[in-house]
A and B are shown apart, each in its own frame.
Chain A
Amino acid sequence: MEEFEPKIVGFFCNWCSYAAANLAGVSRIKMPANVRIVRVTCSGRVDEKFIFKAFSAGADGVLVCGCHPGDCHYQKGNLGARRRVMGLKPFLEAIGIGGDRLRLEWISASEGGKVADTVKSFTQTIKELGPSPLNGRRNEH
């Protein structure tokens, strides 16, 4: 049997984690290729609709990355993202998608290694969880 390769959507803030992902790339740090990165202007831009859209389109996991608290270019965008993710986890859990399929991480522009570690560990988590039930359901139709 082929190993399950999760599809993960990563919403990365332009000012920090997106740059860090670039840095990881040019530094040739190895990481799984499961994360499709969407560049956003700020983690605060990632509202629940983005996250649900990713799941509805077949994502097995969603990773939101932003600047560390205090470092957001729009002051409190990342604080909103944190509250949102904290609130959405129990929701995803309650309807059987699973709260662990959503993760938030703070990664500054210089933390290329943290991008790789985050992607590795999140991919591993999703592998253990298996395909998203929404994903499976979509395929039935």
Chain B
Amino acid sequence: MKGDMYIARAADKDILKIGENGGAVTSLLKFALESKMADAVVAVKAREGNRYDGIPVLITEPEKVIETAGSLHCSSPNIARFLTEYLDGASSSKLAIVVKPCDARAIVELAKRTQINLDNLLLIGLNCTGTLPSAKAKIMMKEIFEVDPADVAGEDIEDNVLTITLKDGSEKKEDLAKLEEQGYGRRENCRRCEINIPVMADIACGKWGTTNKETTFIEICSDKGSQFAQAAIDGGCITIEQPSAASIDDRNKKDKAAIESAKQWQEKDFSRLEKMSSEEKFSYWFTQFHQCIKCYGCRDACPICYCKDCFLEADRGYIPPGEIPPDVMFPMVRIAHVMDSCVNCGQCEDVCTMDIPISLLVFLLSKKVGDIFKYEPGMDVTKLPPLRTTTDKELTLSGVDIDFEP
């Protein structure tokens, strides 16, 4: 049932050995294929063993699932975009897909726009408190941890400490806040992200609420997730026990602490902008926009920018061709088109060649717009984007500025 919680581990001995936290996620993915509940699995794998280059892979053979075991904290592949660009939005095949909260939210937003068929997806969510930008992470490994980046075999963030495990099994730790002060640590959007447990997925898996490194805490978040988990348990693919009250409490506390930290980052980053005078805001942002080389990277990476025929293309008549930096229409239209639905995935900023802090601005705006329309992007597929919809009820509200109800 939705809301059920389990402490789970792989039944298979090999998976138990290789998988992280008892290999429950790997087992579930394998089970999805074996039981034919999914035609294929989408998960993330290190390209040729390079942990800084995680890529989404499509797997149809159950034995291959194990190659995706373990999380890669130094890559942030664009899962939602992968689905729409290469898998036709799951229109014709059933997929079990491993998602972080922002991936799941982007998928939900795309489902609202009929770009992804949610009915064909089984979203296996992973708790997340942030990923690291890969290029900077490599420098950090060298400069701060004083290790060869290629020697790193695992990363983990827990209680504000980044722990890396080396190939020889030894560990090194650094305080995350200190790293971030020095310009390392997590991607900036991740620091500000307060959605750590992917409750919008079908099941949410994570280590919070477990005491050893040998089990995974699973929360069932939908009926589909419930059916799947039950089948996996009945099929003997995972073994489960009920979490104790202390374990649930521990998970809640960790989530709360991560939310609190995200709120502090928001406060810090947003108030820096809010404190500026109008003139300063203008000069700050238009100096940023002025550096744009119109590479279209942000648009191409943003999951919300799904249009086949984008207004920013020269033939649409709004942005003159051959002009760099582009007319102010370029950033303004791009931002206005996504600001009600931004899932703070940071993909736009990751790809921006000119390091323009776009996701900072769009996330800030999505918060403001969300406050007005009582909308939270990517959380509920039945709630439509507020700047693209209206309701009959508004016909009777006469003001030019009205209050929206949650």
Contact = CB atoms under 8 A, between A and B. Distances in A.
Contact of B400 (A48, A56, A70, A104): A104
A70 B395 contact: yes
Please report whether the interface of chain A is mostly helix, strand, loop or mixed according to DSSP.
helix
Contacts, number: 109
Contacts of A83: 373, 386-387, 389-390
A91 B334 CA distance: 12
Interface stretch (A11-19, A32-40, A94-102): A94-102
B285 A96 contact: yes
Given A82-B402, A94-B365, A94-B368, A87 B282 contact: no
Nearest to A90: B368
Nearest to B285: A95
A87 B388 CA distance: 11
A82 B397 CA distance: 11
Interface in B354-406: 361, 364-365, 368-369, 372-373, 386-387, 389-392, 394-398, 400-402
A52 B328 contact: yes
Interface string B11-41: 0000000000000000000000000000000
Contact of A49 (B318, B369, B394): B318
Contacts of A23: none
A86 interface: yes
Interface residues of A, number: 34
B279 interface: yes
B278 A90 contact: no
A52 B332 contact: yes
B369 A87 contact: yes
Please report whether the interface of chain B is mostly helix, strand, loop or mixed according to DSSP.
helix
Nearest to A71: B395
Interface in A121-141: 133-134, 137
Contacts of A55: 328
Interface string A63-89: 000001110000110011011111110
B324 interface: no
B314 interface: no
Interface string A36-59: 000000000000110011011000
A105 interface: yes
Nearest to B318: A49
Interface of B: 273, 276, 278-286, 311, 318, 327-329, 332-333, 335-337, 339-340, 361, 364-365, 368-369, 372-373, 386-387, 389-392, 394-398, 400-402
Interface of A: 48-49, 52-53, 55-56, 68-70, 75-76, 79-80, 82-88, 90-91, 94-98, 103-106, 133-134, 137
Given A82-B394, A83-B389, A98-B278, 5 more contacts: A52-B332, A56-B329, A86-B372, A95-B285, A133-B278
